Amino acid sequence: MGIELADFGRTGHKSSRTLFGAAALSRVTQEVADRTLEVLLRHGVNHIDTAAVYGDSELRIRPWLKREPGRFFLATKTDARTAKDARDELHRSLDRLGVDHVDLWQLHNLADPIEWDIALSPGGVIEAAVDARAQGLVRFIGVTGHGAQIAANHRRSLERFDFDSVLLPYNFVTMHLPYYAENFEALVNTCAEHKVAVQTIKSIALRPWRGREHTHATWYEPLEKQADIDLAVWWVLGRPGMFLNTAGDVDLLPLVLDAAERFEHRPGDAQMAAMLESEKTEPIFV
């Protein structure tokens, strides 16, 4: 059956509504990565989201692109803030991925106010991104980020530059933070008006690790039970226009994709609240 496809903003690409978050490949062997590819193919995932700073992720994806040419919408990210550093990082990413261009190049975690101003001013990474688009090295330009301020930051970013996509956290708990929710809703409205794709992360975040032993590669403690993951994933996918990036752990990937493939409707608030109380969920941002 496969996962539902939807227009990825104004790019012209119909992406699987669940995108592969390739941070999961940061520290795995090629053998593990290749088994992961089979999982993606089985569920019909056709969009990969990686980054220059995700360890060996770009290298692990390279054989996939050679084996399955044209199958994936390919996105990577740069955390450089100046044009010179960004150009160097883009060419390194292209080399590591073994491609002559990427579909989407994203300004990674553009949250700090000083870095934001550098990145989006003359001589900043945005200058390199526009040049790269003109040269055919990237097709589209996006912006990503984490934290309680990022929805507000993305609104400012879209006022400064006409990005093709945004990426930010979205889950039931985070949307109960009034400041975040207000800015998220305003951001989504702007994105809808301009056909900007909205990618979401942290769908199955449970709580911060807070000194507990890390049993997964995610930087937050994730939900682990299939029934809980089902509810969290369905809650995100239950909002039209949202894309869900899978968690950064290869062992959690089949659970998330299984939930996404079985999605029918969004669970109600009471059902979500009961699950969160049972699992002792906490916000990962304050």
Q: pLDDT tens digit string along 270-285?
A: 999 999 899 888 888 8
273, 260, 275: which is closest to 5 by C-alpha?
Answer: 260
Do 216 and 223 meet the contact criterion of CB atoms below 8 Å apart? no
Q: For residues 80-99, give the mean pLDDT.
A: 98
CB neighbour list of residue 274: distance below 8 Å, 6 or more residues apart: none
Residue type, 46: N
Predicted TM-score (pTM) of this structure: 0.96
Q: pLDDT tens digit string along 37-64?
A: 999 999 999 999 999 999 999 999 999 9
Domains of the chain: 5-202+237-247 (3.20.20.100)
β-pairing, 242-245 with 18-21? parallel
Locate 31 and state its tokens.
Answer: 């053998």
- Binning pLDDT at 50, 70 and 90, where does residue 13 land? very high
On the question of pLDDT at 212 being above 90, the answer is no
Q: What is the pLDDT of residue 208?
A: 86
Q: What is the pLDDT of residue 90?
A: 98
Q: What is the pLDDT of residue 284?
A: 87
Q: What is the pLDDT of residue 229?
A: 97
Mean of the per-residue pLDDT values of the chain = 96
SS3 68: coil
Q: pLDDT tens digit string along 251-266?
A: 999 999 999 999 999 9
On the question of pLDDT at 171 being above 70, the answer is yes
On the question of pLDDT at 116 being above 90, the answer is yes
CB neighbour list of residue 172: distance below 8 Å, 6 or more residues apart: 232, 235, 272, 276
235, 229, 147: which is closest to 184 by C-alpha?
Answer: 147
